[in-house]
Homo-oligomer: A and B are copies of this chain.
Amino acid sequence: MRLRADIERRIGTLDLRVALDLGPDETVALVGPNGAGKTTLLRVLAGLLGVDRGKVQLGDTVLDAGPGAAFVPPQERRVGYVFQDHLLFPGMSVLDNVAFGPRSRRATRRDARSSAQTWLERVGLGDLAAARPAALSGGQAQRIALARALAAEPRMLLLDEPLAAVDATARTTLRRELRELLAAFDGVRVLVVHSIDDALALADRLLVLEDGRIVQSGTLPELVARPASRYVADLVGINGFLGHCTAGVVDVAGAKLVVAHAEDGPVHVTFHPRAVSVFRERPSGSPRNVWSAPIVSVEPALERVRLQVGGPLPIVAEITPRAAAELRLAEGGDVWIAVKATEIAVSTA
């Protein structure tokens, strides 16, 4: 069943206005800056918050049509919701927490417990069945919360950062397990993630929410090709800007970038951090875009160093640790930046 929603909802300083159309055959990753309204959106979908105006519809059923109109309460929506802060019931054992959903759906105690045990084992914590939530570590609690949501046999899955506190090993297995689950799951699936890796591994499509609005929606390549915002560019780890192209030169907030393909008008320009060359002295040679910029930060990453520079066009460069050492980047100061025009992708905005 498709979920069609047209949501207007104010809460505190947030003004959420979102139109959604989610199919049962896709997993959507909801991404966005802190406070963008991701959790709020999930709460509206789950029925924990009503819409001020608009409509939420699953298949033919209207779930919420605004104050005073039709409203299906959360317990009848069959959502599987993993809360950002877990919310495991403190008075119950882990097993009873997971069995809570089946029990609410009128399973016998026996059946509920045995299915709960199965789910515990799926998230790799079968031996914690008797533990109390207070005795769990953060990551364990998160995995139990996931098991609890799934054990309720939901028709719609809403996962709020389901892997945030999970360790590396468990993450690998859990991601795999989750991907299988999500693939086998016939219904709407939305998950909030902050890591592009998780989004990629688990979702078919990304939905970018900023300040209560959807600013972009698409697959990773689409986002990489034309990140709609600074946030998206940061998320996918590339340099991306919105600018205005005039005769092969893109003006980005005053800074000029020479590009290869010229289509006049507003454009997205993107280039990969690896396409950025860094020098201590002004380089001579082919690159058409050369400028000097102050070093903002030098961050070692796996097998590479990420260098962030400031100035009018703040960008990230990725170089090898050896190059970083030779350039004595750690010492700060200014460096020279070169980007070949051919490395810059341009598309109309």
Contact A165-B297, Cβ < 8 Å, known A197-B302, A200-B302, A234-B172? no
| Residue of B whose beta carbon sits closest to that of A37 | B137
How far does the alpha carbon of A195 sit from the alpha carbon of B297 in the complex, in Å?
Answer: 19
Asked if A96 CB lies within 8 Å of chain B CBs, one says: no
Residues of A at the B interface (CB closer than 8 Å) are 12-13, 31-36, 38-39, 84-85, 131, 135-140, 143, 160-161, 164-172, 175-176, 179, 194-197, 200-201, 220, 230-231, 234-237, 296-297, 299-302, 308
11 additional A-B pairs beyond A33-B139, A176-B296, A197-B302, beta carbons within 8 Å, are A12-B135, A34-B140, A35-B136, A35-B140, A36-B137, A84-B138, A164-B164, A168-B194, A171-B194, A171-B234, A201-B300
| Shortest 7 CB-CB contacts between residues of A and residues of B | A34-B139, A168-B235, A84-B138, A176-B297, A33-B167, A35-B137, A168-B234
- Please give, as numbers and ranges, the residues of chain B lying within 8 Å of A138 by CB-CB distance: 34, 39, 84-85, 160-161
Q: Are A194 and B167 CB-contacts (below 8 A) given A137-B34, A137-B35? A: yes
Contact of A301 with B197 in the complex, beta carbons under 8 Å: yes
- On whether A167 and B32 interact (CB within 8 A), knowing A85-B138, A176-B297, A201-B300, the answer reads yes
A168 adjacent to B196 (CB under 8 Å) = yes
A230: B residues at CB distance < 8 A = 169
Q: How far is the CA of A12 from the CA of B131 in the complex (A)?
A: 9
Report Cα–Cα, A242/B38, bound state, in Å: 43
A13 contacts which chain B residues (CB < 8 A)? 131, 135
- If A33-B167, A34-B167, A167-B32 touch, does A302 touch B194 (CB 8 Å cutoff)? no
